[in-house]
Homo-oligomer: A and B are copies of this chain.
Amino acid sequence: MTFHRAYGFDEIALATSDITVDEADVNIGVSIADIKLNIPIIASAMDSVCSPSMAIELGKLGATGVLNLEGVHTRYEDPASILKQIASVSNTEYVTTMQTAYQKESIKDHLVERCIKTIKAGGVPAIVSSTPQRASHLGPLAAAAGANAFVIQSTVISKHFYSSNESKKLDLEAFCASMPIPVLIGNTATYDATKSLLSTGVRGIFVGIGPGAACTTRGVLGIGVPMATCIADTAKARDDYFAETGTYVSIIADGGIINSGDICKAIACGADAVMIGSPLARANEAPGLGFHWGMATPNALLPRGARVEVGSIADLKTILLGPSSSDDGSLNLAGALSTGMATLGAKTISEMQRVKKLIAPSLQTEGKLYQKTQKLGMGKH
């Protein structure tokens, strides 16, 4: 059997070198689809994470977020009351509540326009997303409303989509060519799939399929690519394509990133930026009001997700910029990335993508140490 071994974040660690850098000289900024980010963090296109006001707040802090154009904000005049309702029902009721919320009201063009204009009025770039099915309609609409970039996102996207129904097909190349603003797509997970998508004209590709623990795609469908391998392979496709054509397409790691250490690892594996959900859903300002759910949860035939209570632990600014009062990697995400890069001798994101990675499964070692540690105390820090 010649299956390849793939690694997750928890199976790797970053190794120091013979260079360290003064943290004052570290620059974690990056440019994604002509949008400059001081912090390479993008909030997930999920209703529990990104609303127009959250997008504004993220942008002001140097990060950004993607507003899902198929969520509650484009269906309801008063999305806050819907979000409040989802947060208030019990665990046995939320599937029905969400199915109703996402099916009762259709997506309204004027709300799409209003959302984008609201974000722009906040003085930050507006990035919005839709599924491939609605991209032909929502893409031009978003561009006309002033969006800075458009994301086509589904669980898995590919260059080649086979269907006997021609109307279901979306010609990615034609779509990108027709759009006056940058297009990004996702998700994909392997070298070949990424390589074939790079030539469609997209400016960024979201990578990551089924890596999350609460994500049940792997249990339900058997599908999943551990993130460290996923990022390393897709980043190599990006680098090879750049060497061949001179065109640089950003790779954004999306999924399974839970703490600041994972952000460091994602970029060290080759990502240009990260898309994160649950770490930001815990902000006091998050639209989910202490809850988090995926956009596949309301699926009527084959739900693959759940509503999880994540709580509200701090202001968004503290989560992104600190200071941290905890040692679990949940606060000061940008500061941790700066410190990690300084420690690893990387002045820029580009240098961080080339630091040394080790395969070092943490569970085996740390699991046992942890038990001992409960009794014995702690190692050196």
A378 touches B306 (CB 8 A): yes
Tallying the copies of this chain within the complex gives 4
Q: How far is the CA of A163 from the CA of B9 in the complex (A)?
A: 30
Among residues of B, the one whose C-beta sits closest to the C-beta of A230 is: B15
**What is A's interface to B at a CB cutoff of 8 Å?**
1, 3-22, 24-25, 44, 46, 95, 155-165, 168, 188-190, 192-193, 195-197, 208-226, 228-229, 232-233, 254-265, 268, 275, 277-279, 281-282, 292-297, 300-306, 308-311, 322-330, 332, 335-336, 339-340, 343-345, 347, 356-370, 372-373, 375-381
A380 touches B44 (CB 8 A): yes
13 contacts between A and B (CB under 8 A): A8-B364, A13-B226, A14-B222, A16-B156, A18-B158, A21-B163, A46-B380, A216-B329, A256-B379, A258-B372, A259-B376, A301-B322, A363-B368
Inside 8 A of A294's CB, which chain B residues have their CB?
378-381
B304 touches A327 (CB 8 A): yes
A259 touches B378 (CB 8 A): no
Q: How far is the CA of A304 from the CA of B211 in the complex (A)?
A: 26
Q: How far is the CA of A184 from the CA of B260 in the complex (A)?
A: 32
In angstroms, how far is the closest chain B Cβ from the Cβ of A29?
A: 16
Inside 8 A of A213's CB, which chain B residues have their CB?
365-366, 369-370, 372-373, 378-379
Q: A282-B376, A339-B302, A378-B308 are in contact. Are A223 and B297 (CB under 8 A)?
A: no
Among residues of B, the one whose C-beta sits closest to the C-beta of A370 is: B213
Inside 8 A of A360's CB, which chain B residues have their CB?
5-8, 224-226, 229
Q: A6-B359, A163-B22, A358-B4 are in contact. Are A308 and B278 (CB under 8 A)?
A: no
Inside 8 A of A366's CB, which chain B residues have their CB?
213
CB within 8 A of A223: which of B14, B217, B233, B295?
A: B14
Q: How far is the CA of A156 from the CA of B343 in the complex (A)?
A: 7
Among residues of B, the one whose C-beta sits closest to the C-beta of A366 is: B213
Q: How far is the CA of A373 from the CA of B324 in the complex (A)?
A: 20
CB within 8 A of A326: which of B13, B222, B261, B303?
A: B303
CB within 8 A of A277: which of B259, B335, B379?
A: B379
Inside 8 A of A212's CB, which chain B residues have their CB?
369, 373, 378-381
B192 touches A378 (CB 8 A): no
B345 touches A158 (CB 8 A): yes
Among residues of B, the one whose C-beta sits closest to the C-beta of A330 is: B376
CB within 8 A of A18: which of B12, B193, B357?
A: B193
Q: A15-B190, A301-B323, A310-B376 are in contact. Are A3 and B209 (CB under 8 A)?
A: no
Q: A220-B329, A358-B5 are in contact. Are A162 and B345 (CB under 8 A)?
A: yes
CB within 8 A of A265: which of B24, B215, B222?
A: B222
B282 touches A302 (CB 8 A): no
